Amino acid sequence: MNSNLPKTIFITGATSGFGKATAKLFNEKGWQTIITGRRADRLEELAEELGQNSLPLSFDVSDRQSVQTAVKNLPPNFNKISVLCNNAGLALGLEGADNANLDDWDQMIDTNIKGLIYATRTILPLMIDNGEGHIINLGSVAGSYPYPGGNVYGGTKAFVSQFSLNLRADLVGKGINVTSLEPGLAETEFSIVRFKGDREKASQVYKNTKVIKPEDIAETIFWIATRPKN
């Protein structure tokens, strides 16, 4: 690979929160950013802000065919992906397992697990062909530490952690690094989504708490992505 060309990061769930902050930081550092998400209007707005080094791709990460089509049709100047940031994810509801909404459980599994494996399985062969790459998966402390109402969300994040470890085992000697980044309480649109737009309820989650900001996570992702290969 020509070392003079800018490196490229592929970010899922880039329309808000960690993903948006990560796209902005990597763009500022001179990287090309492939930004993806379901909300086309937000993607276009972000792409306009980032400029020509950004490529917006609007699709649902839980739709396998859409993921494969988007990656297959990447323009030549964007298909040398150095970093895949599997950021897309969500939590829905905080009810106990006996009262939870099964549609919410389905959506969390589709996005947090299926979306992650579809993007990984589709992009990983490109990285192996290029002889280098780094997969950074956004997990959560909820994958290791349970709390009431965290049932399926915590289960999906435990999957992220274990999948990352197994990926690392598969990729020994292939020049691909794998990291699972597992933040704690962070103030983004996360809780607004969880409580289906109830901002008052969402605000109570962060009351009297010194929270992590999206920019903090973006800086951590950049640090991880730029470590020496040794």
| Residue-wise pLDDT tens digits, 34-83 | 999 999 999 999 999 999 999 999 999 999 999 999 999 999 999 999 99
Instruction: Describe the strand order of the beta sheet including 176-181 as a list of residue ranges.
Output: 54-58, 32-37, 8-11, 81-86, 133-138, 176-181
Residue 145 annotated as catalytic: no
Confidence check: pLDDT of 153 > 50: yes
| Separation between Cα atoms, residue 66 and residue 62, nearest integer Å | 8
Catalytic residue chosen out of the listed positions 118, 145, 153, 206:
153
Cβ neighbour number for residue 190 with a 10 Å cutoff: 21
Q: Supply the pTM of this predicted model.
A: 0.90
**Minimal CA–CA distance to 136: which of 150, 119, 122?**
119
State CA 131 to chain mean position distance. 22
- Residue 49's contacts (CB-CB under 8 Å, 6 or more residues apart) are 24
Neighbours of 223 (CB within 10 A): 9
Q: Is the pLDDT score of 1 beyond 50?
A: no
Whether pLDDT at 189 is above 80:
no
Tokens of 8: 């490229």
209 or 143, which is more confident: 143
Burial class (CB in 10 A: 0-12, 13-18, 19+), 60: middle
Arithmetic mean of pLDDT, 195-214: 69
Residue 159 confidence (pLDDT) above 60: yes
Bridge partners (DSSP) of residue 177 are 134
Mean pLDDT of 103-113: 97
138 forms beta bridges with 181
